Amino acid sequence: MQYQITHTTEYEYHQSVSLCHNVTRLILRNTEDQLCKKTVVKITPQPDIICEYKDFFGNNVMYFAIQQQHKHLKVTVVSQIEKRITAGSMLNFYQTTPWEEIKLQVLEPGDDNFDARQYITETAITKSTEEILRYAQQSFTPRRSLFYASAELMQRICKDFEFKPGFTTVATPLDIVIKERKGVCQDFAHFAIACIRSMGLPVRYVSGYLETLAPEGKEKLVGVDASHAWFSIFIPNTGWIDFDPTNNMMPGEQHITIGWGRDYADVTPLKGVILSSGPHQLRVSVDVRRIL
């Protein structure tokens, strides 16, 4: 399957800004089941400086700076990718391994294990609490397989939490999400991650897109899709396995990965610093469509 994703971010400043520095993580990375064939980045006004590099987690980063007066900033990234279905044959064999055993296996030598271990420790956003631990322990019962425990955790989160755009912001702490049982995909992914880390297991945050299908008989509208997030667990000798708690599903063809990190802060799609005292507004639109 081939997709074209158009992700537009626009800032409107009330006062003109003479200097802005930005860091974006909007260029898709290649994965086992995803090949990025073409990326076009369009920034207006034209940046004075652009640098591209890979970050610590292997994500594609673009830094740019605009050094002239401007009142409007627009960043559009158009990506074309091919999505393949990988055979999950290995999965069947390892998906029965109890989580306690995996906890020990991760500590064994090996590059993959080494890489995975950095995702065990809690971060500022995914701090563990008694409540989180109790929630996790309901799924992570003794000797249960990591795979099924995670799947059930995903399912419970989807059931227990209400998807409510606008209720939270990128800065809302997890305890409010837990208290109110409301949030968006980012909050659910963080909550799941906090749960799994509280069990001492590696888990990472994946930033990406989801193709939303139009209701039958209606043309899909541009801009109804949004950037999405989910979590991914690690099974030694198998690899990373994704779970989407917002939709209670195993990501497949319709999930498109931008990158990953320990939490949202590692893969923020676009952040910046401007020199200005006035307020500003942000508009984001995402369009994911199949190319035939």
Q: Which residues bind another protein (CB under 8 A)?
A: 9, 11, 18-23, 48-49, 51, 53, 55-57, 63, 65, 67, 109, 111, 114, 117-118, 121, 165, 168-170, 184-186, 189, 207, 226-229, 264, 266, 268-277, 280, 282, 284
Query: 3-state class of 242 per DSSP?
Result: strand
Q: Considering the complex, state which of residue 94 and residue 157 has its C-beta at the smaller distance from another protein.
A: 157
Closest distance of CB 35 from another protein, Å: 22
Tokens of 47: 């940046």
Closest distance of CB 55 from another protein, Å: 7
Closest distance of CB 93 from another protein, Å: 27
Q: Which of 180, 170, 256 is nearest to 212 (CA)?
A: 256
Q: Considering the complex, state which of residue 88 and residue 165 has its C-beta at the smaller distance from another protein.
A: 165
Q: Which of 171, 179, 187, 178 is nearest to 230 (CA)?
A: 187
Q: Considering the complex, state which of residue 147 and residue 201 has its C-beta at the smaller distance from another protein.
A: 201
Q: DSSP string of 208-236? A: EEEPPPPPTTSPPPTT-B-EEEEEEEEET
Query: 3-state class of 36 per DSSP?
Result: strand
Closest distance of CB 31 from another protein, Å: 17
Closest distance of CB 266 from another protein, Å: 8
- Cα dihedral value 231, 234, 238, 241, nearest 10: -10
Closest distance of CB 91 from another protein, Å: 26
Tokens of 147: 């795979």
The DSSP bridge pattern shows strands 70-83 and 34-44 to be: antiparallel
Write out the H or E segment, with its range, that includes residue 108.
Answer: none
Q: Considering the complex, state which of residue 84 and residue 271 has its C-beta at the smaller distance from another protein.
A: 271
Write out the H or E segment, with its range, that includes residue 22.
Answer: strand 20-27
Q: Considering the complex, state which of residue 156 and residue 280 has its C-beta at the smaller distance from another protein.
A: 280
CA 16, CA 71: separation in Å to the nearest integer? 5
Q: Considering the complex, state which of residue 145 and residue 268 has its C-beta at the smaller distance from another protein.
A: 268
CA 202, CA 196: separation in Å to the nearest integer? 7
Q: Considering the complex, state which of residue 85 and residue 275 has its C-beta at the smaller distance from another protein.
A: 275
Amino acid 265 reads A
Closest distance of CB 96 from another protein, Å: 27
- Please give the DSSP secondary-structure letter assigned to residue 106: T
Q: Considering the complex, state which of residue 70 and residue 144 has its C-beta at the smaller distance from another protein.
A: 70
The C-alpha R_g of the chain, in whole angstroms, comes to: 20
- Please give the DSSP secondary-structure letter assigned to residue 77: E
Closest distance of CB 267 from another protein, Å: 9
